[in-house]
Amino acid sequence: MSTIDVNGKQIEVDEEGYLANLNDWEPAVAEVMAAAEDQELTDEHWDIINFLREYYEEYQIAPAVRVLTKAVGKKLGKEKGNSKYLYELFPYGPGKQACKYAGLPKPTGCV
Residues lying near another protein in the complex (CB under 8 A) are found at: 58-61, 63-64, 66-67, 70-71, 74, 108-109, 111
Residue 94 CB neighbours (<10 A): 23
Residue 3, helix vs strand vs coil: strand
Cβ proximity to another protein: between 27 and 105 the closer is 105
Nearer to another protein, 91 or 109 (CB): 109
Active-site residue, selected from the candidate residues 4, 32, 61, 110: 110
Task: Give the whole-angstrom CA distance, residue 88 versus residue 94.
Answer: 9
User: Is 110 in the active site?
Assistant: yes
What value does the CA radius of gyration of the chain take, rounded to a whole number of Å?
Answer: 13
Between 9 and 74, CB nearer to another protein: 74
List the catalytic residues.
Answer: 110
